[in-house]
Structure 1
Amino acid sequence: MKSRELGMSLVEVMVAVLISTILVLGVTELFGNSFFSSRSNNELTRMQEAGRVALEVIGADARRAGYQGCTAADQEHKFNDGHSLPDDAVTSSSATTVTFRFADPGTGCNDSTGTYQELTWNEPAVTYSSANGTLSRNGDPILDNVNMSVAFIPTGSALTSTAVRITITVSDSRNAAPHTLGNRTFSGTYELRNKLL
């Protein structure tokens, strides 16, 4: 009697290969989706943090605009560049540029010990500008993949406005076409409380 060889037939091998291929493709797809989802979440976090930080930095200078220490607020100070406070506390040469002028914080007043701190001015003035997707402070880049726009409220003129609205639009830095996130927009309105009209 002949003994039969035990083993898998060609059909059984092909079925096993097909099932294995489907499992491998499923695991690969799951891993790929997880990987891109993680990268998108990281990029979204970066975009939100960038917008929030940019508004905080700009807002700190916007709130100081026109500050003249503890001196009489109706006094006029002339800067070397021809501008003066309080009229030129905030100026703008375009919709993507804003300049703030103010006394250095903590000067022109008595400190905690009662000692008068001589008044000093922030010269040059602090200028924020947005060009080619880069936000700069006094010409130094501080953030990429960002555009800024400036609007004065309620008049649209820096000279007669009582507030300034800064809008920051942050874009995805990855440029990965199928996985690119949409732009995120952040806006802050700052009252020009130190500026006399």
Structure 2
Amino acid sequence: MSQLAFKPVTAANLADFEALFAGPGGPKFCWCMVWRATAEEGRGTPGEVRRGQMLGRIARGVPVGLLGYDGEKPVAWVSIAPKPTYRRLKGPEPAPGENVWSLACMFVLRKWRGRGLAHQLIAAAVAHARAEGADVVEAYPVAPDAPSYRFMGFVPAFEAAGFSPAGMAGTRRHVMRLSMTR
């Protein structure tokens, strides 16, 4: 299994982020805006509009996630950011003063799939959130046989990382949480 190096997405590596998302098989249809879009930004907007929305957040220094690198090549993405930056995610209300970060999406280039990289993406996201002061990391995976939302990961991978069930968000997405105080 390849060991990836992870870097937060910033203006400094914006070209790598765009190359991963816009490249063959990349998530250029959503630009990881589905759960972030405000009412003003709208749902169902085309990929190019969503790209602009995401790039605007990055330009303003809003945390959006991490890129996973194999050497110098970006090959993976994990969306990890403070929960308030995701407008449409469900889950339990944070306790007063609780700093919750959400892991909402993962993407790996097809050539690198099947190598267990989801475990690395989850571990990197948790480490990043912890370093940024998160009290809890919340994730929204599905069962392995779910027909949709697969980009949010699978329940067994989060169980292996120590996450605990915290309810459901809809009929397919499980809400799972990991406390940073353990």
TM-score range, shorter chain: under 0.3
State the TM-score, normalizing by the size of structure 2.
0.23
State the TM-score, normalizing by the size of structure 1.
0.22
